[in-house]
Amino acid sequence: MKVLVINCGSSSLKYKLFNMEDESVLANGLVERIKLEGSVLKHEPLGKEKVEISTEIPDHEVAIKMMLDALTHPDYGVIKDLNEISAVGHRIVHGGEKFTGSVKITDEVIKSLEECIELAPLHNPPNILGIEAVKKQIPGVPMVGVFDTAFHQTIPQKAFMYGLPYEYYKNKGLRRYGFHGTSHQYVSQRAAEILKKPIKELKIVTCHLGNGVSLTAVKGGKSVDTTLGFGTVSGVIMGTRCGDVDPVLITYLMEKENLNYEQINDILHKKSGLLGISGVSSDMRDIEEAAEKGNKRAQLALEMFEYMVIKYIGAYAAAMNGLDAVVFTAGIGENAIQLRKNVCEGLKFLGIEIDDEKNNARGKEIDISKQNSKVRVLVIPTNEELMIARETKALVY
């Protein structure tokens, strides 16, 4: 059984074709700059040379067609016929309160997704375009939607509510939704496998530290709290996003600097975080390098990042009344050795002790804690696409 996983953004499309017999990747690729000048498809077939095709890609339908043509191409394709694709799994950003797990996509589901557009105006529309385009190109192939928000639907009300008038929750759906759910779910399940313990018995904090950052408290396999909220800026500072700020600062800035909605939104999402504090870059590698050379603002950005990760791990240990494991994942979590060490040193009071030699690893699955550490500390590369492929297989068969 072959499952195609698609992640459709506003100007990009990422795809991976899995052979689910052994979960191997037959091909993966990326279409960039859809609707823009300089569009390109980059296709990496298993065991064959990579190809890059630059041509005009005016919309998502053309992008999907190019991807399917690449997958079936006589030279660089990996399947003979589109019939070999048994199912398609779509990553969908927002499922609101309606979707608490993955779903088989029907016309009714598409309608419900359209109702969620208000909650994710930038992300859900391209996700829907991707679904419609696949439906047109390979009609009849079963499709499954896997939501970034679904894993967090188990968060109890006391943790997902904001202290705003209740009507805003009831009538407008203003609440914490959380994101990166597929990643948190994947690494928490993997952690249980590595630790050889039933996930039902574990209290884990999963730290997804990439360009976007979120930490999740996973108790008994279920998300019970997470740092991203209604939108994608809260919690720890990120590449360009501000993390937690006193909401009064926003109204204050709007008034004093005479900023409109677009301008304040731009500051919170694109000009803050590591970039805004350091003035150097949004990329953690650049921040580490500048900090090393003595750049004070880069050092501050790094310290703020580490401090907030420590603070939330502590908070979530309290929220779960215990902690068995901490998992680091995504670009920073999987690679930033010194940052992991600093975070763990700040959590010694919880009985966390890591082995510096084991911690000296990048991008691989490893338990970096000392034998006698009360809490296990794991590095687990995330694999959202595989998780989507598994969910798709499970719902289709």
The site for ligand ADP (CB under 6 A) is made up of 210-212, 239, 283-285, 288, 330-332, 335-336, 362
Q: What share of the chain is helix, strand, coil (3-state, %, to 5)?
A: 45, 20, 35
Pick 77 or 331: Cβ nearer ligand ADP: 331
Residue 51 Cβ vs ligand ADP, minimum distance, rounded to whole Å: 23
Q: Please give the C-alpha separations between residue 284 and each of 84, 288, 322, in angstroms, as whole numbers.
A: 41, 6, 30
Residue 125: CB minimum distance to ligand ADP, A = 20
Exposed/middle/buried for 362, CB within 10 Å: 0-12, 13-18, 19+? exposed
Name the minimum Å distance from CB 361 to ligand ADP.
Answer: 11
Helix (H) or strand (E) holding 17: strand 13-19
Half-sphere exposure of 212 (CA within 13 A, CB side): 16
The residue among 45 and 210 lying less far from ligand ADP, judged by its C-beta, is 210
User: Of the two residues 323 and 339, which places its CB atom closer to ligand ADP in the complex?
Assistant: 339
The closest alpha carbon to 284, from 228, 342, 238, 215, belongs to: 238
Q: Report in angstroms how near the CB of residue 330 gets to ligand ADP at its nearest.
A: 4
**211-to-230, 274, 331 alpha-carbon distances in Å:** 18, 10, 8
* Alpha carbons 95 and 112: distance in angstroms, whole number: 8
What's the min distance (Å) between Cβ of 165 and ligand ADP? Answer: 34
Q: Is 148 a catalytic residue?
A: yes
Cβ proximity to ligand ADP: between 54 and 338 the closer is: 338
> 188: buried, middle or exposed (CB in 10 Å: 19+, 13-18, 0-12)?
buried
Tokens, residue 200: 């039902």
Least distance from C-beta 337 to ligand ADP, angstroms? 8
Contacts of 287 (CB under 8 A, 6+ apart): 274, 278, 280, 281, 298, 301, 302
The catalytic residue among 22, 75, 107, 148 is: 148
The residue among 145 and 239 lying less far from ligand ADP, judged by its C-beta, is: 239
Residue closer to ligand ADP (CB basis): 288 or 324: 288
Q: Hey, which residues are catalytic here?
A: 148
